[in-house]
Amino acid sequence: MKLTVTSLLLALLHSRSAFSAAVTAPAKVTKQVTLDIVNVEAAPDGFQRSIISANGKYPGTLITANKGDTLVVTVNNKLTDATMRRSTSMDFDGIFFTTQNAFMEGTPFVTACPIAPNASFVYTLPLGEQAGTFWYHSQLSVQYVDGLRGPLIIYDPEDPHRNLYDVDNEDTIWQVGDWWHNSTIPLLDGYVATGIVPVSDSGTFNGAGRFNGGPEVPFFVQNVQAGKRYRFRIINQSARNVFTMSVDNHDLTVIAADGVETVAHTVNEIQMFAGQRYDVVLHANQPVGNYWINAPFVGGDPTRNLNQNGTLSRAILRYAGARAVDPAGPMTDGPANPNLLLESDLRPLVPEVVPPADMNITLELVVTTGKAQWNVNGVSYLPPTTPTLVKILDGQTDQAAFNQTENTFLLPANQTVQIIFPPSEDDEAHHKKIDQDVHRRATAFHLHGNNFWLIKSNFSDVINEVNPIRRDVAPVGSAGTIVRFRTDNPGPWFFHCHIFWHMQAGLATVMVQDVDGIAAGDRPNQAWETLCPAYDALPAELQ
């Protein structure tokens, strides 16, 4: 073959580029992480109580990895406090598991049984092509209300948004969450007896909060340098509350939602439902000083808990060179002229063709008056004694194998399923500015195993089948929501409300993708096989 000078130069450039990529691309590694699940005394908002924590911290230990790595997470259950659940089970929110490792997914009585006290389990998470902002929490009952929640960040060395920010590290993670002074067993007993969801005492920002009449716990301080652009990864780790995020005098440019990149979209206020994550870029372009980071929240009637004051939920953005004092401005709920993020305005960074729906499923959500009970299509979910995955691996692949209360949908492989949450009679959620009353009526649904295209947001009339975003948590309420996903990941995947009080009261389903493909897979490891016998042998007070 005859080579010209041009072709030789091109070949040389190509080889240099390939060599450079090979040298600079980080090697994919297996990273070992240990989470000791322990009871410790803590006072995130100044009120001391026993909590459940990962490695004695609230929020728990930060887990980081790079795209393509494998995480091996050893969870050691060392819980002893009888006022809270003593078994546990870990969910890695937004991480995709597959048929080969669905048993590692950690959803109690769907993919596994809980981990008994004084026992351990090793979760293996091949991260594949995923990157972004995720988190982990207990998936057992409402246990993460007691504190078992923490961040999981997967960095992309070739992040397509890399030119938009200068700083992205473990110091630029914002975790907001609701906090209760009472532990979950009495709180849950009260909910069951009255049907009234407990109202939180406070909200926390990176583990610090305040309540009415409580001590002035120091606000979390976010240090920045003038002129630099910061990627902040915001995680709403609540079990109920909706947080509204803003920073005085600063814009926020959204670049990702629930671990999926979006076209950069600038706003000055973001409302986040339980379980949602947003990555934003803030340009530190204001005069050197201190600025409020506002994180007011709503969640239930605040007159039911006089400790609650959503205005106290905040942090401080402090420029280098500014005095170590609180901002001079008042504590507000946010900008006077809000440019509120509407998730329907977000667009995917990487365009993709959204396939038409092969099948439609309508899910009607109804709460029973006077009881702590939610129904999906007239069924209140109850966890089965034998986990869904165990049944399928044992050859029970017909609909008759699943009790009605398991609310299990058997979905054929490689289809596009559209889930329709119809609107309720109340139509307030059509308003552009979402008020507190609407927040109280809206809930948030989360899909395990996949994310979904958000065809219609609860806060918009627009139906977008062309370029909707993908995410894994979306609000569901009075205006109706439509999502769509592919059944290309065989497994029994939980699809539930991320207000865990609602989930515990039955607001959940199981979406089984390709039941025959699951049944044909290999049996899980021996450690997983022993979880159910060990849990079933426990007395009720240790479960």
Strands 120-126 and 173-179: unpaired
Q: What SS3 class is residue 22?
A: helix
What is the SS3 string spanning 399-441? HHHCCHHHCEEEECCCCEEEEEECCCCCCHHHCCCCCHHHHHH
Q: Which of 18, 46, 120 has its CA nearest to residue 527?
A: 120
Of 359-363, 369-373, 399-403, 501-505, least confident by mean pLDDT is 369-373
Query: What mean pLDDT is predicted for residues 234-238?
Result: 98
Would you place residue 522 in the very low, low, confident or very high pLDDT band (cuts 50, 70, 90)? Answer: confident
**Structure confidence at residue 488 (pLDDT):** 95
Does position 22 have pLDDT exceeding 60, yes or no?
no
**Structure confidence at residue 370 (pLDDT):** 81
**Structure confidence at residue 389 (pLDDT):** 97
Query: What mean pLDDT is predicted for residues 296-301?
Result: 94
C-alpha 347/C-alpha 244 separation (Å) is: 21
**Structure confidence at residue 24 (pLDDT):** 57
Superfamily of domain 359-536: Cupredoxins -  blue copper proteins (2.60.40.420)
Query: What mean pLDDT is predicted for residues 247-276?
Result: 98
What is the chain's Cα-based Rg? 23
C-alpha 22/C-alpha 17 separation (Å) is: 9
Domain boundary assignment for the chain: 359-536
**Structure confidence at residue 369 (pLDDT):** 81
Measured torsion, CA atoms of residues 65, 66, 70, 73, in degrees rounded to the nearest 10: 10
Q: What average pLDDT does the chain have?
A: 92
**Structure confidence at residue 426 (pLDDT):** 38
Per-position DSSP letters for 27-67, written without gaps between them: PP-EEEEEEEEEEEEE-TTS--EEEEEETTBSS---EEEET
Query: What mean pLDDT is predicted for residues 502-530?
Result: 94
Query: What mean pLDDT is predicted for residues 4-12?
Result: 38
Does position 14 have pLDDT exceeding 90, yes or no?
no
Q: What is the pLDDT of residues 191-212, one digit of tens each?
A: 999 999 999 999 999 999 999 9
**Structure confidence at residue 442 (pLDDT):** 75
Structure tokens at 426: 């109340």
Does position 433 have pLDDT exceeding 60, yes or no?
no
Q: What is the pLDDT of residues 44-56, one digit of tens each?
A: 999 999 999 999 9
Does position 520 have pLDDT exceeding 60, yes or no?
yes
